[in-house]
Amino acid sequence: MTNRKLVGLVGTLATACLATSIGLSAAHADPSGSGSTNAQHYEIGLFGDMPYGDTGRAQYPNVLTDMNQHDLAFSAFDGDIKNGSEPCYADVDGSAQAAGKPDIYKYALQHFNTLRAPVVVVPGDNEWTDCDRPATAGPTFDAVQRLQYERQLFYPTDRTLGQRTMTLTRQSAAFPENVRWTFGPVTYVGLNVPGSNNDFIPDGDTSDGPQAEANAEYAARNAANLAWIHQSFAAAKADGSKAIMLVLQADMFGDSPANPAGTTADPTDHFADTKAALARESAAFGKPVVLVNGDSHFLTIDKPLTDDAGNVIMNVTRVMTFGSALNHWVSATVDPNDPQVFTFHQHVIAENVPTYHFNS
C-alpha cells in the first residue's frame, strides 16, 4: 500500500553510530510523572528484540556498552528478551533448575540493570504469549503464568529498571506493565500489546496454546490498554505536553522488508481497536505522536496509521527498532523548539556487523 512507503525520515536518520553531544544536566532530574521536571533537550534510547540465540547473547553486551557511552535520559525496551523458538525457562516453577538452564527472565533483568540510565521495559510475545506453543523447542509453559512472573520481576515497584531509576505511573496492580511518565515537554506511555495477534487465538487454531485462557487474558488486557491510551492522551493534554510517545511490542501493521505488505503469515485483526484508538486520539491531539514498536526487527520510520477513509494521519510517526540478527539501537533527541520535537538516529554497532560475502 502506498501509505506504507517510507514517508521520509523524521528529522535526521543519521549515519552509523552518530553521537550528538547534548547537554543533559536538567534531563537527569527524576521525573515523577507529574510533568514537574525541567528537562528540555535530551536524548533517549530505543531498542528491543534481543538477545536472540547464541549470536545475540554474544552481541547484546556490545549494544548495552554503546548505550552506556551516551548520556541518555532514559531508554525504552520494546519487548522480546529472547527468540521465539527457545524455551521459556524460569525459576518460578523450577523449570530452569530442572533443565540446568538459566532463568531467561533473570538473565534479562541482570542485563537491563547494567544500563546506567533508567530503562522502561514492555513485554514481548516471545517471553509469554508464545511460551505455550507446541512448536516451541523443548517444553511448553503456561503463557499467563509466564506473564505474571515477568510482572513480578520487572515491575515490582513504581521505579524503572537500570542503575539510575525514575518514577513511573503504573496503570494498576493487575497491569503494572502499562506505564506513563512525563519528561520535559513529552508524555511517554508503555503498553502491553504483544505480537502473535495480541494473544488472541481464533477457533480451530491448535498451534498457539490453549484458546480459552488466551482469549480471556486478551479481553481483559485489551480493555485495560484501550482505557490507558485514552487516559494517557488526556493526561498529555492536561500537562500541555508538546508530544507523546507510545512504546509497545507488536508490529500491528504486519509488514516489513521480511514480510512485504499483504504477505505476512501472522494475523493482525486483533490490533484493530488499538490502532483505531490511537488514530482517533492522535488526530484529536494534533501534536507529534510517535509509536515505537519492535517485532519485525528492521529499522523502519514511516507513517502507517490512517483514518477510516484511508487518509494518513500525518502527526503520527512509527519507529520500528532493530532486533533479532540486527543487534543495534536507535536514539531520539528531544528538542521542544523543533515542530516535530523528535529527531531519530541509528546506532550501528561495528562489532555486530557481519562480514559481507558476494558470489562474484
Compute, in degrees rounded to 10, the torsion defined by CA atoms 299, 301, 305, 309.
-120
pLDDT value of position 340: 96
* pLDDT single digits (tens) 139-198: 999 999 999 999 999 999 999 999 999 999 999 999 999 999 999 999 999 999 999 888
Nearest Cα residue to 266 out of 77, 128, 69, 125? 125
Q: Is 33 helix (H, G, I), strand (E, B) or coil?
A: coil
> Whole-number mean pLDDT of the chain?
87
* Distance in angstroms (rounded) separating the CA atoms of residues 350 and 16: 9
* pLDDT single digits (tens) 245-285: 999 999 999 755 545 554 445 677 889 999 999 999 999 99
337 has a pLDDT exceeding 80: yes
Domain boundaries, the chain: 2-352
* pLDDT single digits (tens) 1-58: 333 333 333 333 333 333 322 222 233 344 433 333 446 899 999 999 999 999 999 9
pLDDT value of position 255: 57
**How crowded is the C-beta side of 267, counted as CA atoms within 13 Å?**
11
- Considering the entire predicted model, what is its pTM? 0.88
* pLDDT single digits (tens) 79-94: 999 999 999 999 999 9
Q: How confident is the model at residue 208 (pLDDT cuts 50, 70, 90)?
A: confident
The cell numbers describing 281, all together, are 486520539
Report residue 319: phi and psi, to 5°.
-120, 115
- Name, in order, each residue with C-beta under 8 angstroms of 170's C-beta and a sequence gap of 6 or more: 155, 158, 176, 177, 178, 179
pLDDT value of position 325: 97
Q: Is 292 helix (H, G, I), strand (E, B) or coil?
A: strand
State yes or no: cis peptide before 51, omega within 30 of 0.
yes
* pLDDT single digits (tens) 296-336: 999 999 999 999 999 999 999 999 999 999 999 999 999 99
- Taking the domain 2-352, which CATH number applies? 3.60.21.10
CB 236 within 8 A of CB 181: no
pLDDT value of position 250: 96
pLDDT value of position 205: 82
